[in-house]
Amino acid sequence: MARDLVLADGTVFTGEALGADIEHIGELVFNTGMSGYQETLTDQSYNGQIIVFTYPLIGNAGINRDDFETITPTVQGVVVREAATVTGNWRSEMTLDEYLKEVGVPGIQGVDTRALTKKIRTAGTMKAMLVDHADSAALARLQTTQLPTNQVSTSATPMPFPVPGTGKKVVVVDFGFKQSILRELTKRDCNVIVVPPTTTAAQIAHLDPDGVMLSNGPGDPKSVDYALPMIREIEQKMPLFGICLGHQLFALANGADTFKMKFGHRGFNHPVREIATGRIDFTSQNHGYAVSPDSIDQTRLLITHEEINDHTVEGLRHKEYAAFSVQFHPDANPGPHDANHLFDDFMDMMTTFQQQRKEVATHA
């Protein structure tokens, strides 16, 4: 069955229907990863977006029960050059097409994804829709539709829940977290408590954690301004580590600014330089907003990492408090694990903070 991808500027790409038979509207973005499509589709940071995969064949390893980043995907659509109909992995339980039908996500295949990606790079991300037949009425619906700005509220947990461990107690503030973050923490024996994005600093302090992590998540960080007072208070009391959206919120809470990028960073091959050492890590990234470097000078933050290609801010550290953040995903699922050591740095930071607190108590 034929299906059309309609862009807000009136451009139409015609291909073959994939996944659910439903009309969806979302922000059209592209991902350059050569693998990890299941993790990408279930990453809450893609909430409300239609993903164009630049790799020409998607779905050859099927879908399995182990590689989900969340149970319920919030993507609005999938665009591929070719969707594999035969899977070649022993863990596979269904094809990509079967999975998209099951979770109610529409898709399209057989389109020129290279031309589509070049268009996004030139014009920037834009609204798009998947529809069975493109006509003037469909274009009018697309152009008049306002995309939602409450993605975090539809991605994050509404209630706290524990992930028990025997080691350090870490509170993860959920803005749309990935399971891979929890896996990295539990791998280090952390006793994790996941809390909603609206949790206050007093509520977090009542849990008496050794450290706090601000998770990744979707959308414009300025729409999550309700979390900024919590961050400002928590960073003064205990170690804090922000990832992706958590990085942007950490910046905003400390007086920096953020901006919407033309087409963002979405892929697993982004080189990042650690400024102090010159070390270069290849990183997994998924974001459409970034911290403005010009806004850092007026804050008590220090830029620790930068993206080599466009020099965007990729890491920050507070000059006074035990708090830092990175724009990329050190959990890297999928992607390279070059920056995985940052979880160990967070563990060391919590240990040092505990020792310093004991010394202060001893001399008090």
Residue ranges of the binding site for L-glutamine: 45, 217, 219, 245, 248, 286, 288-289
Residue with token string 């998770």: 215
* CA pair distance 169, 325, nearest whole angstrom: 19
User: Annotated binding site, which residues?
Assistant: 45, 217, 219, 245, 248, 286, 288-289
- Which residue numbers are catalytic? 244, 329, 331
Q: What are the φ and ψ backbone dihedral angles of 64, each rounded to 5 degrees? A: -125, 175
Distance of alpha carbon 229 from the chain centroid: 22
Q: Which has the closest alpha carbon to 144: 8, 28, 27, 10? A: 8
Task: Tell me if 300 sits within 8 A of 254, measured CB to CB.
Answer: yes
Cβ-based neighbours of 226, under 8 Å, separated by 6 or more: 197, 198
The token pair that represents 329 in the structure block: 């995903």
DSSP 8-state secondary structure symbol assigned to residue 116: H
Task: Tell me if 261 sits within 8 A of 288, measured CB to CB.
Answer: yes
